[in-house]
Amino acid sequence: MRTKFWMTGAAAVAMAAAVVFTASPSRADAEKKDEGGVKIDAELEAYKAVSGISGNISSIGSDTLNNLMAHWQEGFQKQYPNVKIAVEGKGSATAPPALIDGTADLGPMSRAMKGEEIKQFEDKFGYKPTAISVSIDALAVFVHKDNPVEKLSLPQVDAMFSANRKGGYAEDITKWGQTGLKGEWENQTITLYGRNSASGTYGFFKEHALFKGDFKAAVKEQPGSSTVVQLISEDRSAAGYSGIGYKTAGVRAVPISKDGSSEAFEATAENCYSGKYPMARYLMIYVNKAPGKALSPVVREFLKYVLSKDGQEITIKDGFIPLRKKETTKFDDLLKS
């Protein structure tokens, strides 16, 4: 991947289909611990403001990224008070048409663009959209904080949420006793919460946890990740999915294994970097960049800020996982003046 400094939409699709993070133990000493024990790469450089930056930026897309975008907006505007940024987060599916129509400069997405979305963009502009990785997320299966379930395999998750059971689990899972819980939990019916179809989180979960199967009609779809987590915190029998950045004290993220014979891993930064956690993903911002032409100065500097030490520290504070220097370096050429 070092031969490419940024990804076209097609490359991002391939990446999101199988996200594999490689650990770099030789650089462990070059990292320091930040909030909550998450490590930030000490090689990431602090953002340095430049002169002459002003103008407006419009961002339309992912709900998962909405809080992060708002925090990045706040930090960037402290550097450049004359810049105005409008952020709208109604789902990843809203990003491609906004970029195509020219109503957005930035298209945050928690999944890669689909083939048809890339084609629509390319049909209009003659080139593909450009994706910039801005953070790492662990898509988590959340339960109520009192739920004692120790772990789940992806086939079990599929049997809970999917009408098809393409993961091959032997039976449909509707009660907590089928996951191994006893006592008061054994006969409790599982209440299911999830995102709506405009969400990139919905699409990623469908592809990776449901093995491209269909959701059960019983899954209660919500317009936002925070709503999913809030409802789970109020319902002891609930299970649902959301990005790890939306975790609250009222819920638990269940350790997940790839299959019934594999070890289950928690949704931690270390397990995402190493590839052990099976539902890690890059969060991305798509932009419309014509070949041979530079991004506008204000968009360029915003993206440089996001990928800097300052921007990635915000990622940690918002509960997501920061990029490392070796991942941000891929975009250096894209962000040159």
> Cα(307)–Cα(329) distance, rounded to whole angstroms?
9
* 125 and 34 share one domain: yes
Report the 10 Å Cβ neighbour count for 51.
Answer: 4
230, 258, 274 - which closes a domain: 274
* 220 and 144 share one domain: yes
- Residue 181 identity (one-letter amino acid): L
Domain assignment present for residue 317? The answer is yes
> Cα(126)–Cα(290) distance, rounded to whole angstroms?
9
* 292 and 213 share one domain: no
pTM metric for this prediction: 0.84
Count of the separate structural domains present in the chain: 2
What CA–CA distances, in Å, run from 195 to 274, 331, 334?
Answer: 27, 31, 33
* 128 and 145 share one domain: no
Domain assignment present for residue 167? The answer is yes
Residues 142 and 229 sit within 8 Å (Cβ to Cβ): yes
274, 295, 322 - which closes a domain: 274
> Cα(250)–Cα(55) distance, rounded to whole angstroms?
41
Domain assignment present for residue 336? The answer is no
Domain assignment present for residue 337? The answer is no
Please state the separation of Cα 212 from the chain's center in Å.
18
* 263 and 289 share one domain: no
* 177 and 131 share one domain: no
* 62 and 94 share one domain: yes
> Cα(85)–Cα(70) distance, rounded to whole angstroms?
9
- What element of type H or E holds 203? helix 200-208
Domain assignment present for residue 98? The answer is yes
Q: Residue 100's domain spans which residues?
A: 7-137+282-331
Domain assignment present for residue 1? The answer is no
Domain assignment present for residue 189? The answer is yes
* 28 and 71 share one domain: yes
274, 294, 321 - which closes a domain: 274
Return per-residue pLDDT of the chain as tens, 337 residues. Answer: 333 333 334 333 333 333 434 333 333 333 333 344 687 999 999 999 999 999 999 999 999 999 999 999 999 999 999 999 999 999 999 999 999 999 999 999 999 999 999 999 999 999 999 999 999 999 999 999 999 999 999 999 999 999 999 999 999 999 999 999 999 999 999 999 999 999 999 999 999 999 999 999 999 999 999 999 999 999 999 999 999 999 999 999 999 999 999 999 999 999 999 999 999 999 999 999 999 999 999 999 999 999 999 999 999 999 999 999 999 999 999 998 7
CATH of the domain at 106: 3.40.190.10
Domain assignment present for residue 229? The answer is yes
> Cα(57)–Cα(78) distance, rounded to whole angstroms?
15
Q: Could you say which DSSP state residue 27 is in?
A: G
